[in-house]
Structure 1
Amino acid sequence: MSTYDHYTNPPQEPVWSVPAAGHARFSWEYDDGRDRLLALYQKGKDKQWDGAKRIDWDLEVDPYDPLGTPDEALSLYGTRHWAKMTEKDKGKLRRHYASWQFSQFLHGEQGAMVCAARIVESVPDLDAKFYSATQTMDEARHAEVYGRFLHEKIGMLYPINDNLQGLLGDTLRDSRWDMPYLGMQVLIEGLALAAFGMIRDTTDKPLPKQILAYVMQDEARHVAFGRMALRDYYRQLTDAELREREEFVIEGCYLMRDRIRGLEVLEDFGIPAKEAEEYTEQSEFLHLFRKLLFSRIVPCVKDIGLWGERLQKAYVDMGVFELGDSNLDLLMTQDEELAEHLDRERFAAEEAARVAEVAEAIAAGSGSGSGGADPAADGASTGAGA
């Protein structure tokens, strides 16, 4: 069945064409590179995985409660509309919200794949090209698993959000080679990581937890890559060039903050746009979620050297300025360790189940022999044993 059969509303155009600008850059230095970046490239090669095999797709998912979302996390909770909703209606709302969230993850991963490919083309250093090539594969895998989850487990997709599409377009249209790093590696990937992490850490559903944990393990490397490359490059820029990039970050952060409201879902439930905006802005859960979403972006922006007065004021306005002191390295380490821990738990449980199954089969065979149901067989068995 075509993806178009699953969309709540069909996309405005079947193929979104973004005019490309800039240069493809070749490097003829094949025997030199930054040790940190080459080590990250090696890690990227070592950590490749197959989404069809590592994830247990046999796990059942209730499409009307795919994430175990509590009532309080839904923007309509406590409103006059909520009071009129049946349990079936609430299940439909959960399905739509999960579909909207994972659809934006899916579209963002395709954008990340295109941006990583653009970095391979435009970055001047070969070590960065090497790593970006592994990231392009990572992003393809992420798009694959999110798409499969939406098609097979939820059965519904939403088109790309306007704000996400706007930021992607601005990132890809810019001719400067560092902008796909800044727009994708820092802003979009940073926000996605925080959203993934919040769902990963709160859901009690094993399949989405697996998907998010394994994707986040890859994304930790991607953000580290962006930090390394941009920190080195931005040390060389003039104050005017840095201000240009800070303006891009400010605009992108406001776009991303507004992106997370999910107004499309409420509008699909017949809520007028203005009323839907009021409900989302009044949601305590959304305010907390919105702040946590910047936990990966703000320290990264500060780390790469974009911390001018105007940018700091914007973060004060958003209520996220203090996140600049967060320990980004610790967060990334935890992302990697959680994925490894999940693997150990899963495969230990599978091995225990296999051992129990073998023991049960042995016990069943032993029981049938001693029961005397087939004397001839018992005799034959005894003779063979002697």
Structure 2
Amino acid sequence: MIVDLGDLGFEQGAHILLQRALGPLRPGDEVGVAGLDPALAMHVEVWCRAKGHHTRRADDNDDGIRVWVTRGRADLDRWMHAERAGGPSPLGIVDAPPAHWGLAARGALVEPGGPPIAADLASRELVWADLAPALYANAAASQWDPATAIAWDAPVDLVPEIERAVVQVMTFLVENEQAALVVPARLLARIHPHFREVLQLLAVQAADEARHVEVFTRRALLTGGEMGTSSVSGRESLATLLREPDFSMASFLLSVLGEGSFLNLLTFIDRNAPDPVTRQVARMARQDEARHVAFGVAHLQHQGTLDRTLLGRLRGAIEQRHETLISSAGLNQDVFDSLVVLAAGEWTPAGIRRGYAAVQQLQAEMDEGRQHRLVRLGFPHDEAAELSALHTRNFM
């Protein structure tokens, strides 16, 4: 076999043609290299030495051949102990990918050696949900632009007291959404890249929360006012979410219980919004939050089939958080009163009574939703009711 490189030099990619010619040969087979580049012979020898092939200079009567290359086996040995990062297809997910696969694409042939990746969440049962690929596809298709999805120029002409109530509720939402952004962002860096659908989903979830922080802040400041209050008890409640190291427990406390309760809160705001902008930001955020809750439930249902101790661990997480927060003041009183004002819609005794009853109904709906999700995870109805009652009064 002869590889005629013409005037192509190795500094222009000639090695690619030589490598192609050597690929199907057996060790010991020989190929001649011809070409016009004055430095060709030297470049071939240097390249072959690096690749484990052998060379000899051609004789003057070798019909234009400059160098003979004998195929070595170093490149074959290099891949002899290589393994696939999963199956040959990207769909080939394994239960426990080794650390030395690092950032290799799933399904790739992994060259031995290289640095291990620091990912302590490297077991499928710790992070997986069969619904994750479909949820990611839905999340990617459902992204929205705050600049265009919300009609920011819609008329907002509220009496000052009502506007302050809206601002306080928005301030509360920002605070909680910042916690909901930090939790998946922290978990993201701990997951083995082999489980890329979970990584992708959590990345979009963090992006969702960042967008929510933006739109809630923008609504709060829309009429030129200042942000509302942030209570110690509210921050204490959210801090317990940030301290939870276990992936499943963090998903449970944040997505299943906290964001699950926020679905009811956002529905309440949508229903009682005094202006179209407030209604829109609540509605757009709710569609994202529903996806986050769906992943949390799907993940825990998946893990429940593998771990018989799961329900006991979930119960323990609720009880421990309750004990931590038992002396806190609960929901910021300014937030509670602002929700009453939004639902009242007027400054009359009858209106305030109606608004107060609406907030109590909201809390009952939150409790009912939490119980429903707990039952889906396998808790008996009476235990689900007991555990739901222990959930933080701060909603999230």
Equivalent AA in structure 2 for residue 50 of structure 1: D
Aligned to 2:85: none
- Give 1:215 shift: 0.9
Q: What secondary structure is seen at the aligned counterpart in 2 of 1:137?
A: helix
Letter in 1 for 2:367: F
CA distance in 2, matches of 1:166, 1:226: 23
1:259 aligned to 2:331? yes
Please give the per-residue CA displacement for 1:53-104, whole angstroms capped at 9, x wherever unaligned: 1111111212xx3xxxxxxxxxxxxxxxxxxxxxxxxx44323322221111
Residue 117 in structure 1 maps to residue 185 in structure 2: yes
1:243 matches 2:315: yes
Contact residue 55 and residue 211 of structure 1 kept, 8 A:
yes
1:45 and 2:140 are equivalent in the alignment: yes
Q: Measure, in 1, the Cα distance between the counterparts of 2:324 and 2:224.
A: 30
Alignment match of 1:181 (pick from 223, 226, 251): 251
In 2, the alpha carbon distance for the partners of 1:137 and 1:193 equals 18
- The residue type paired with residue 262 of structure 1 is D
Relative to structure 1, the CA distance from residue 203 to residue 298 in structure 2 (aligned partners, 3 Å threshold; closer, same or farther) is: same
Question: Does 2:153 align with 1:58?
Answer: yes
TM-score computed with the length of structure 1 as normaliser: 0.57
- The answer on whether the counterparts of 1:115 and 1:172 sit within 8 Å (CA) in structure 2 is yes
2:357 to 279, 284, 302: 284
Q: Which runs of 5+ in 2 are unaligned?
A: 1-117, 339-351, 392-396
1: CA distance, partners of 2:129 / 2:329: 35
Asked if 1:157 corresponds to 2:227, the answer is: yes
- Which one-letter code corresponds to 1:61 in the other structure? V
1:98 to 166, 188, 203: 166
Q: CA deviation at 1:158?
A: 2.0
Inter-CA distance 220–313: structure 2 relative to 1 (3 Å threshold)? closer
Deviation at 1:251, TM superposition (A): 5.8
Q: Distance in 2 between matches of 1:317 and 1:137?
A: 30
Tell me how large the CA RMSD over aligned residues is.
3.7
Structure 1 distance, partners of 2:250, 2:236, is: 14
Work out the CA distance in 1 between the residues paired with 2:317 and 2:123.
Answer: 29
Matched-pair contact (CA < 8 Å) for 2:261–2:366: yes
Tell whether the 8 Å contact from 1:117 to 1:136 is kept in structure 2 after alignment: yes
Q: Percent identity?
A: 24
Q: Which has the larger radius of gyration?
A: 2
2:131 pairs, out of 9, 21, 36, with 36
Q: What is the SS of the residue equivalent to 1:296?
A: helix
- Secondary structure of the 1:152 match is coil
1:97–1:202: structure 2 CA closer, same or farther, 3 Å change rule?
A: closer
1:171 pairs with one of 241, 245, 256: 241
Once the two structures are TM-superposed, the CA of residue 200 in structure 1 deviates from its matched residue by 0.6
Alignment of 1:283-302 (within 5 A): 283-302=356-375
Measure how far apart 1:262 and its partner are: 2.8
- Give the letter aligned to residue 213 of structure 1: R
2: CA distance between counterparts of 1:251 and 1:299?
A: 23
8 Å CA contact 2:188–2:203 kept in 1: the answer is yes
Name 1:207's counterpart in structure 2.
277
| CA distances 1:7-56 after superposition (whole Å, capped 9, x unpaired) | xxxxxxxxxxxxxxxx8436599xxx755210111111111111011111
Question: What amino acid is the match of 1:302?
Answer: V
- What TM-score, normalized to structure 2? 0.56
Q: 2:205 aligns to what?
A: 135
Residues 191 and 297 in structure 1, CA contact (< 8 A), matched pair in contact too? yes
- 8 Å CA contact retained: 1:118, 1:180: no
Deviations 1:236-267 (A, max 9, x none): 1426434313424756998999416437869x
| In structure 1, distance between residues paired with 2:272 and 2:211 | 24
Is contact 2:167–2:228 with CA below 8 Å preserved after alignment?
Answer: yes
> Does the aligned pair in 1 maintain the 2:231–2:332 contact within 8 Å?
no
> What CA deviation, in whole Å up to 9, does each residue of 1:180-224 have, x standing for no partner?
212211222122211110121233521111111111111111110
User: Closer, same or farther in 2 for the Cα pair 1:215/1:180, shift >3 Å?
Assistant: same
Does the 8 Å contact 1:40/1:131 carry over to 2?
A: yes
Equivalent residue letter for 2:313: E
Measured after TM superposition, the shift of residue 145 of structure 1 is 0.6
Aligned length in residues: 255
Counterpart AA for 1:48: Q
Query: Does structure 2 retain, via aligned residues, the 8 Å contact 1:112–1:139?
Result: yes
Moved over 4 A (4+): 26-29, 248-257, 263-266, 306-311, 314-318
CA distances 1:85-143 after superposition (whole Å, capped 9, x unpaired):
xxxxxx44323322221111111111111112123123564432221111111111111
Does residue 194 of the first structure (1) align with residue 264 of the second (2)? yes
Residue from 278, 292, 301 that aligns with 1:222: 292
AA aligned to 1:233 is Q
Residue segments in structure 1 that go unaligned for 5+ positions in a row: 1-22, 66-90, 267-278, 319-386
Separation in structure 2 between the aligned mates of residue 145 and residue 176 of structure 1, nearest angstrom? 30
How many Å apart are 1:172 and its aligned residue?
Answer: 1.2
1:305 counterpart = 2:373: no
Q: Could you say which structure has the greater relative contact order, defined with CA pairs below 8 angstroms and 6 or more residues apart?
A: 1
